[in-house]
Amino acid sequence: MILDLPLSSIGKFLNHAIESEKEKATWELWKSMYPNMAIGLQKFISFNDFKAKINQKELQTTRITAKEIIDEMTEIRKKLG
């Protein structure tokens, strides 16, 4: 029974379930787009390319210098004690 498993195993099961749901949702979205791709109304993209694009993480960029970041973190550490 799942309740008898160690907490770390339950976390692995949950992560697997979440990834499976994301994969299924991605497939359903791509599948709904396929008819338009098949007749040329939409540019074709393979499922693997679509999945990679939709799961791509956006990186945050900043224009502040490393010194400014360090100074900001130093202030935060001072406030936290």
pLDDT digits (tens, 9 = 90+) for 28-57: 999 999 999 999 999 999 999 999 998 887
pLDDT at site 12: 87
pLDDT at site 2: 66
What is the domain extent for residue 22?
2-80
**What total number of domains does the chain contain?**
1
Q: What is the mean pLDDT of residues 57-77?
A: 85
Angle 42-24-41 from CA coordinates, rounded to 5°: 5
The span from the CA of 22 to the CA of 77, in Å, is 37
